[in-house]
Amino acid sequence: MALLVKAALSVVLLLGLSPSVGLPGDGPQPGAQASAAVGAGSAGQSRSAARACTGPRGEPGGPDAWGGCWPGPASTGVPSGTALTSYSGDRTVSTRGAVVDGWDVSGCIVVTALDVTIQNSRAGCVHIEGQARYCRTSESSTERSLTGCTAVPSLGRSRAGRWPRTLVKDSEIRCPNGPGESGFGDRNLRILRVEVTHCENGFSLDSFVTVKDSYVHDLYNAIEGDPHTDGTQVLVGRSVRLKHNVFHAFSPGCSYPSDANCNGSSAVTFGGQPDYTSVIHSSVQRNLLAGGSYTLYCPIARPRNFSVVDNRFSEVYGPKVGEYGPSDGCHRSGVTWRGNKRIDY
């Protein structure tokens, strides 16, 4: 199922010189009690926070700067020992409060209901549709029209006092390695310990999304078709928070200097929609970033309450972090930039 063919984000690929990187979570959300279990999978072994890091410093699975480990193959995706049930094609989840556990879906999981949880599962993508793409009262009519979200009558909040979101955790998204494919789209999502690979865009996000402790790598790219490969692209940017993830924006076998089918467009792009609305209440915090033309693109229009804090920009791809540099537009007015550092490789 082709997802969300990318909007024209080439406008953000401004190839001017970028200021250099500063050289010198949001845990599981309690929600409404699940009312329906879907699938017969069994969860694998639990993941201890005290597990020793599995990679070298500055790489996926290796020690981070805060006494923990960066996300990597051993800490994301379907836990070892999980029993999976295979399904062919796409699967739709339309029951409010459903729990999808132990699915292995060759197509996409399409969520059309509120309060759905997807865990210990594998799929080609996760797509939010129907009433699960709800609007909030804080969104203007312009935003609603732009994003195509649906106003859900009497939506209310969960018992924890938070708006319901689709939760995806301890799962793997493996796109079919083709153009126009996004692992996730696009709003009202909480994503935790997920591995995403072989997509043109790991995440294609709109609004009200948190991504934490996840690993995006080995993305699709090609000489033909001019794909604009991003670890994460944010097309609107209301309340999008990226915390403690790894975004490696290059393809398998990538080495410096790159060629056209190796390096992606960005690890993270906050493009926004400058003609309609500004990025607001969003952040990029404690992530490990590498690759791309510029590795991180900050919003074009002046954002509100947008921060880039304590990230690590890795030279694992090349000495400039990205093809042209580590960041673009991140020292504009409205961006809080603090504690970001390079990692020599």
Q: Which residue has the higher pLDDT, 60 or 40?
A: 60
What distance separates the 2 farthest-apart alpha carbons in the chain?
54
Q: Which of 18-22, 35-39, 64-68 has the highest mean pLDDT?
A: 64-68
Question: Could you tell me if residue 324 is inside a domain?
Answer: yes
Check residue 120 and give its pLDDT: 98
The predicted structure's pLDDT at residue 278: 81
For the chain, the domain total comes to 1
Is residue 5 a part of any domain in this protein? no
pLDDT at residue 272 tops 70: no
Residue 25 lies in a domain: no
Q: What is the rounded CA–CA span in Å between residue 78 and residue 89?
A: 20
pLDDT beyond 50 at 32: no
Residue 59 lies in a domain: yes
Q: What is the pLDDT of residues 103-146, one digit of tens each?
A: 999 999 999 999 999 999 999 999 999 999 999 988 888 889 88
pLDDT at 238: 92
**Residue 45 scores a pLDDT above 60:** no
Is residue 98, in this structure, part of any structural domain at all?
Answer: yes
Please give the pLDDT value at position 154.
77
Q: What is the pLDDT of residue 39?
A: 58
Half-sphere exposure for 344 (CA within 13 Å, toward CB): 2
Q: Would you state the pLDDT for residue 199?
A: 87
Per-residue pLDDT tens digits for 186-209: 999 999 999 999 888 899 999 999
What does pLDDT average to over the chain? 82
Q: Which domain holds residue 217?
A: 51-152+160-343
| Residue 269 vs residue 27, higher pLDDT | 269
Q: How does residue 1 score in pLDDT terms, banded at 50, 70 and 90?
A: very low
Q: Residues 309-345: pLDDT tens digits?
A: 999 999 988 889 988 899 999 998 999 999 999 987 6
- The secondary element (H helix, E strand) that includes residue 312 is strand 312-314
Distances (CA, A) of 300 to 16, 217, 237, 238: 14, 25, 12, 14
Residue 248 lies inside a defined structural domain of this protein:
yes
**Is residue 138 situated within a structural domain?**
yes
Q: How many CA atoms within 13 Å lie on the side-chain side of 258? A: 27
Decide: 157 and 114 in contact? Cβ < 8 Å. no
pTM: 0.84
> 21 in a domain, yes or no?
no
